[in-house]
A and B are shown apart, each in its own frame.
Chain A
Amino acid sequence: SHILKKDQDSTKAWKGKTEQLLKIDEHDFTMRPAFGGPPIPVGVNGQVESLDRISEVDMDFTMTLYLRHYWKDERLSFPSTNNESRTFDSRLVKMIWVPDVFFVHSKSSFIHATTTDNIMLRVFPDGNVLYSMRVTVTAKCNMDFSRFPLDSQTCSLELESYAYTDEDLMLYWKNGNASLKTDDKISLSQFLIQKFHTTSRLAFYSSTGWYNRLYINFTLRRHIFFFLLQTYFPAILMVMLSWVSFWIDRRAVPARVSLGITTVLTMSTIITGVNASMPRVSYIKAVDIYLWVSFVFVFLSVLEYAAVNYLTTVQERKERKLREK
């Protein structure tokens, strides 16, 4: 009976708290590893969970990704017999040093916090750390609409350390070109995502120096089918309808005029409809060219009938004068 009293509590076998397992109180974690020495290399890799939306009007995109950092901090090494890593809670993040990566040109972002902060910290016995988080970020993307809707947009998400320059922290893609993975089911309704690829560069700030910057680039090609159905086909049909007027007897004045003017009205409605969901850019878009040229055709068919009507009236007056003589 005495033996069956309590199951062994393995945390008690360590005879200490995490702080004592990892000896956190003995070091000052406000200083980066190897402070004062060579820059610490921090590897980054990521998995894109989804591209939530692309907004033309705001010229931005929203992406959710798992962002993982890898570095070595010897102050966190601990003795271990089996060389297995230990997984810790997000509360440990506040007590140790972690890289301060931020997203350049981001408008808003947050780390998901349901049911608890979506953060993982895994420490290996030799001091290697894996720090992973789930982040949703909305970032700016300059879009060029001169070939809209037959356009391709290239956007990129940029990662950089906020405080540490090139001499303190070296940010790099951990697996080179294979650092960025995507879920199989990433898809957008309006775009085809052509490829994700990673690059890195240095960025210079005149006040603070050179920083490593990592880029996640992707290209989006717009599906034209929706615009064919919504804009191009109705415009083509309206132009064809305006040609019907040429086959109707020229004496049917009300008929030809109402046909012409109603097709002009419908073209005008189609043009307004396209521009409702677009930013007000200062150059002409591909779809504008098509719609305005179609509008000119429809407009000219109205003018054509005005000319026919006028010349017929003139002809009729001449004939009447001849008959009276």
Chain B
Amino acid sequence: SKREIKMRKLDSTKIRPLKSEQLLHIEDHDFALRPGFGGSPIPVGIDVQVESIDSISEVDMDFTMTLYLRHYWKDERLSFHSNKNKSMTFDGRLIKKIWVPDVFFVHSKRSFIHDTTVENIMLRVYPDGNVLFSLRITVSAMCFMDFSRFPLDTQNCSLELESYAYNEDDLMLYWKHGNKSLSTDEHISLSQFFIEEFSASSGLAFYSSTGWYNRLFINFALRRHIFFFVLQSYFPAMLMVMLSWVSFWIDRRAVPARVSLGITTVLTMSTIMTGVSASMPQVSYIKAVDVYLWISFLFVFLSVIEYAAVNYLTTIEERKQLKKRGKASGMYSMDAVQAMAFDGCFHDTDVDMELTPFPDHCEENETKTSQTNISNVDTPRLRRKRSLKGNVGRIILQNNHVIDTYSRIIFPSVYIVFNFFYWGLYM
């Protein structure tokens, strides 16, 4: 009656009183043998969609990519009877019972098929026996990188697919849609690189023990963004070199100032250079960034050497002057600012500095000089003001060593010329 019919909902799996094995007649065939076993090679088409490029590692020289890999082939043993010509989609568990191509990634270091929440595998069988087999894989593969133009470099990497067991006589691997077989998600991007192009190509690979195999290549080029390195390495280096030029404008008698300026810029350049090498592989050739940093280091080093020369020649000059004036006084005259610059002690008025010894203590020196200058005590203020105003001009225009004068022009101009050459050559 009608009530009995409505009692139980129709269970569609029970309409087909067979399991999928019986649908596909798996038990009747031996799927350890490839389709067309003993005959002509079976063509297997490949199609790839790149989901993301996860990381590029310079130190390990590899890249990690996640992709959807699809295989298309025809296995007549899997054909089944159907009215509507619609395909049937099966679970990953069917893979273990039928034949599938054994594609692997040549030069890969690690790889895995994602298995959350279940294995990311799809098998779709058409009534005529055509099969679509799709996987989601993450693979880390080797990429040989050349760092001679780092960080203004472009790296070419490729992922290679090949069948492990079946050579050219058994399995023909090809790109299903030619050049359009490779597609990428729109939002593939890397923080440090600009992905220039993806292209697909194919070739043959020969193994002396086992024969010729079809190999498919997924090629892509990566161009590095230089902005990070400009900010991290080039700008600090440039600023350190410019800081070292400040030393040429300081009075040559300010010995502690000029020496500590020079040596601290050398120390900072050394630290910048160590920082760059920390995240790089230890290659045996010189990189573009090394060229820049070492030449900048050389400029900074030369500014220290320049001041050593200036100081040494100044000392010789003073001794000659002293000999001319006679040995009796044993002293020479210095104005207040110059004396302060020389020994770091505060001087109120013009002082007479003794040549050979140096003061034990700043105050002792002060009391000595104030005794000799007692006659000038009335007009110290006026004198001080006068001496301060005229001092700026005197520091810059007088008492300059000729090396300093030339260095102020030569060092910046040579550095600017070097920069023109460097950026012109590498960019």
Residues of B within 8 A of A209 (CB): none
CA distance A6 to B110 in the complex (A): 42
Please encode chain A, from 248 to 259, with 1 for each CB lying within 8 Å of some chain B CB and 0 for all others: 110111111011
CA distance A142 to B77 in the complex (A): 55
How far, in Å, is A181 (CB) from chain B's closest CB? 7
Residues of A within 8 A of B208 (CB): 181
Residues of B within 8 A of A121 (CB): 165
Assess whether A251 is in contact with B358, with CB atoms less than 8 Å apart: yes
Please encode chain B, from 283 to 317, with 1 for each CB lying within 8 Å of some chain A CB and 0 for all others: 11110001000100100010011001101101100
How far, in Å, is B334 (CB) from chain A's closest CB? 13
B412, CB-defined interface residue at 8 Å: no
Assess whether A116 is in contact with B357, with CB atoms less than 8 Å apart: no
Assess whether A266 is in contact with B305, with CB atoms less than 8 Å apart: no
Assess whether B255 is in contact with A258, with CB atoms less than 8 Å apart: no
Residues of B within 8 A of A273 (CB): 274
Please, how many residues of chain B have a CB less than 8 angstroms from a CB on the other chain?
84
Option from B29, B112, B144 in Cβ contact (under 8 Å) with A12: B29
Residues of B within 8 A of A312 (CB): 357-358
A198, CB-defined interface residue at 8 Å: no
Residues of A within 8 A of B109 (CB): 52, 64, 136
How far, in Å, is A109 (CB) from chain B's closest CB? 13
Residues of B within 8 A of A91 (CB): 32
Assess whether B113 is in contact with A114, with CB atoms less than 8 Å apart: yes
Instruction: Tell me which of A99-107, A182-190, A199-207, A210-218 binds B.
Output: A182-190
Residues of A within 8 A of B37 (CB): 10-11, 14, 86
Known: A244-B304, A247-B308. A112 touches B111 (CB 8 A): yes
Residues of B within 8 A of A185 (CB): 144
Residues of B within 8 A of A192 (CB): 284
Residues of A within 8 A of B101 (CB): 115
Residues of B within 8 A of A220 (CB): none
Known: A10-B39, A115-B104. A265 touches B267 (CB 8 A): yes
Residues of B within 8 A of A64 (CB): 107, 109
Instruction: Tell me which of A26-34, A156-164, A229-237, A281-289 binds B.
Output: A229-237
Of the candidates A16, A68, A114, A241, the one having the most CB atoms from chain B within 10 angstroms of its own CB is A114
Known: A49-B107, A112-B108. A87 touches B165 (CB 8 A): yes
Option from A68, A256, A266 in Cβ contact (under 8 Å) with B267: A266
B91, CB-defined interface residue at 8 Å: no
CA distance A52 to B108 in the complex (A): 10
Assess whether A187 is in contact with B256, with CB atoms less than 8 Å apart: no
A89, CB-defined interface residue at 8 Å: yes
A197, CB-defined interface residue at 8 Å: no
B264, CB-defined interface residue at 8 Å: yes
A18, CB-defined interface residue at 8 Å: yes
Assess whether B285 is in contact with A10, with CB atoms less than 8 Å apart: no
B137, CB-defined interface residue at 8 Å: yes
B100, CB-defined interface residue at 8 Å: yes
Assess whether A190 is in contact with B282, with CB atoms less than 8 Å apart: yes
| In the complex, chain A residues 151-188 whose Cβ is within 8 Å of any chain B Cβ | 181, 185, 187
Assess whether B263 is in contact with A45, with CB atoms less than 8 Å apart: no
Q: How many A-B pairs fall under 8 Å by CB?
A: 221
Residues of A within 8 A of B281 (CB): 189-190
Residues of B within 8 A of A6 (CB): 76, 79
Please encode chain A, from 94 to 133, with 1 for each CB lying within 8 Å of some chain B CB and 0 for all others: 0000000000000000001011111111100000001010
CA distance A6 to B127 in the complex (A): 13
A50, CB-defined interface residue at 8 Å: yes
Assess whether A254 is in contact with B267, with CB atoms less than 8 Å apart: no
Please encode chain B, from 191 to 225, with 1 for each CB lying within 8 Å of some chain A CB and 0 for all others: 00000000000000001111000000000000000
Residues of A within 8 A of B100 (CB): 115-116
Assess whether B301 is in contact with A241, with CB atoms less than 8 Å apart: yes
Residues of B within 8 A of A237 (CB): 266, 297, 301
Assess whether A45 is in contact with B301, with CB atoms less than 8 Å apart: no
Assess whether A53 is in contact with B60, with CB atoms less than 8 Å apart: yes
Residues of B within 8 A of A118 (CB): 102, 104, 164
Assess whether B259 is in contact with A116, with CB atoms less than 8 Å apart: no
B33, CB-defined interface residue at 8 Å: yes
Option from B61, B264, B315, B360 in Cβ contact (under 8 Å) with A249: B315
Assess whether B270 is in contact with A266, with CB atoms less than 8 Å apart: yes
A324, CB-defined interface residue at 8 Å: no
A9, CB-defined interface residue at 8 Å: yes
- 6 cross-chain pairs, A with B, having the tightest CB-CB distances, nearest first: A223-B284, A252-B255, A316-B357, A254-B256, A17-B30, A120-B165
Q: Interface on B for A, CB 8 Å cutoff?
A: 29-30, 32-39, 60-61, 69, 76-77, 79, 99-113, 135, 137, 139, 142, 144, 164-167, 170, 207-210, 255-256, 258-260, 263-264, 266-267, 270-271, 273-274, 277, 281-286, 290, 294, 297, 301, 304-305, 308-309, 311-312, 314-315, 342-344, 356-358, 360
Chosen A-B contacts, 20 in total, with CB atoms closer than 8 Å, are A6-B76, A9-B76, A90-B102, A115-B69, A117-B102, A120-B210, A122-B210, A132-B164, A132-B209, A190-B281, A229-B294, A244-B305, A248-B255, A249-B315, A253-B256, A258-B256, A265-B267, A269-B271, A315-B357, A319-B356
Query: 6 additional contacts, CB 8 Å, given A249-B255, A263-B263?
Result: A116-B104, A117-B102, A190-B281, A226-B284, A249-B314, A316-B356
